[in-house]
Every structure is written in C-alpha cells, then in structure tokens.
Amino acid sequence: MLWVTAAVPQETGYVRRGPQLQVVHTGVGFTRARAAARDLVSRLAPGDFVLSTGFCGALDPALAPGQMVLWECAWVEGEPEEVPLETAAPFLHPAGIDLCRTRGVTVPRIVNAAGEREELRSRAKAEVVDMESGILARACRDAGVPCAVARVVLDTPADPLRTDYGSIPAPTGDLRGRDVVRWLCLRPWRLGGLLADRRAAAQVAGRLGEYVNRVAEAHARRMD
C-alpha cells in the first residue's frame, strides 16, 4: 500500500484514489502532524510505503513556484539530527517530471519574509521548508517504514504568500468555511491576497497531483 500524506485536502485535490493508495490529511503544524503520525504508523503493514506530499516554501531563490522537489533528508527545527529519506526507489522518479533533489527543514511556524527565509536557509542548510514532513519522516524511521518526501513549491522569496495564515484560527489547520469568513469580516482588505494565494495553490496542486498519480501507478505495478 502507498500511503500519501498531506496537511489539508486542497493539496491532494488532483490525486486519484485507488485500491493501492490511501490518502491521509494530517492537519497543519507539529502538534497535528505528531498525532497523525502516531495513528498512521499503527495502521501500516509490512511492505507499505509512506509519501509525504503537499506544498512547501522555497528558501533557495533559484526555486520557482510549481517546482517539484524530492527531499534527500529532513531536519526538524530543534532536533539534534536529520532524518535521511528514501530517494532511490525507481517509482519516485516518473519519466517526464522535473524533480529537483533538495534538503528540507520542518518548522512550527510559517516562514514568509525574505530575510527570515535566508536566515533559516543558512542555519538549516536547506532549500525548502514545511511544517509536517520531518515529523512524519521521524515517526516512519522509528517504526522501520520507508518514507519519502516529495512536495511542490508554492511560495518563494521573490513571490511570498500574501496572507498571514498564522492569524486565522482554524481548529484543524484546514483554511475553509466559517474560520475564513470570520477572519475576513474583521479584515476585508485581505480578500484580494487570499484569493491570489488560492489561485496560486490551485495551479501548483495540479502539478503535485500529476506527480503523485504517476508515482502511485508505478508503485502499483511494482506490487503486482
């Protein structure tokens, strides 16, 4: 079985479900990722493979929105060591997909300002950042389960997020429905930025979905 994880449903909207593919939405951030990781490893069987996906932010200014990245290792900010990740499996490298190999860092907050990105890049020796993958990778490593991280770049130093998502009190981390409406009622001038971010997310989600679907097909053939 291929287990595909992502923080929220918007990230997996283009992923095709199938009998050999399970999608798990962890929620955003360390706390939700830890709880989801504990539940996930309890459900895994021998031969299963975990693929952590979703959006990520670029720390390296050479990376552009829509670039697929395959993490070679993940460092959780505050932890003493990196977690090495699976990169060699052939099904992770479908033909025709431009896949950049990177080092990733997982942090408990949104990193958006150019200066903060540069500082984190220098300190973590990483090219991309997210808020969940390192937590999942560490749980899989401790359980002896192979894990890869393949994400798509959403925002960059030159093209940052336009919305302070950390200020939206979404209980699950899924930015939909009443939480967003309530937040916008107090900040109606933020609507344009929020819509621009949503359009950008929809564009890169298509690329992520294409990659995950191709990986799932190759993984299913491998299991036959």
The Cα–Cα gap between 183 and 132 comes to 24
- What is the per-residue pLDDT across 91-135, written as a single tens digit (0 to 9) for each? 999 988 999 999 999 999 888 888 999 999 999 999 999 999 999
> Identity (one letter) of the amino acid at 134?
G
- What is the per-residue pLDDT across 16-62, written as a single tens digit (0 to 9) for each? 988 889 999 998 888 899 999 999 999 999 999 999 999 999 999 99
DSSP assignments along 74-111, one per residue: EEETT-SS-EE-----GGGS-TT--EEEEEEEE-SS--
The Cα–Cα gap between 151 and 169 comes to 25
Question: Which residues are bridge partners to 83 per DSSP?
Answer: 74
The Cα–Cα gap between 180 and 61 comes to 30
What pLDDT was estimated at residue 185? 73
The Cα–Cα gap between 215 and 172 comes to 28
- Counting the structural domains of the chain, the total is 1
Q: What is the CATH number of the domain that holds 175?
A: 3.40.50.1580
Given the structure tokens 């940052």, which residue do they identify?
160
Distances in Å between the Cα of 215 and the Cα atoms of 4, 12, 90, 165 are 10, 14, 9, 30
Take residue 1 and report the two structure tokens written for it: 């079985």
pLDDT of 155 > 90? The answer is yes
Domain that holds residue 208: 2-223
pTM tops 0.95, yes or no: no
> Binning pLDDT at 50, 70 and 90, where does residue 166 land?
low
Higher pLDDT residue, 40 or 161? Answer: 40
Higher pLDDT residue, 94 or 222? Answer: 94
What are the φ/ψ torsions at residue 105 (nearest 5 degrees)?
A: -130, 140
